[in-house]
Structure 1
C-alpha cells in the first residue's frame, strides 16, 4: 500500500492541532508539514536531527 506524502503530512498536522507531537524521517514530508503549518499560522518547535524531524506544538501562554 502506497501512502501519499501530502496525505501523511496532513495527518501529522492534524495530530499537531490536537496537541500531539509528530515525527517524520522524510525530508519531503517535513517540507509539506512546514508549508501547511505556515499557511495555518500554527506555532511549533521543530527539532531537526540526523534521524528525522520532530514537531512539537507550542502552548499558548494566555
Structure 2
C-alpha cells in the first residue's frame, strides 16, 4: 500500500534535514534528494510491523502528577 506524505526540508550546516509533517520521523542527507530518499526509507521502517524477540509483559505503575 502506498501513502502520500509531506516533507519539510531545511539545511543544518552541511546537511539537509527532511522531516515528515504527518508522522514524527526525520532523516538527513548531503543533498535534498538524499535526505528525501533517507526519509522514505525511515518511514518504511517506521510502519513495518514489530517483530518481538520475546513475549511482551504488561505492568501497572504509579506516577505522581500535579502539585504535592
Give yes or no for TM over 0.5. no
- Bigger-Rg structure (1/2): 2
- Provide the TM-score with structure 2 as the length reference: 0.33
Larger helix fraction of residues: 1
TM-score, scaled to structure 1 = 0.35
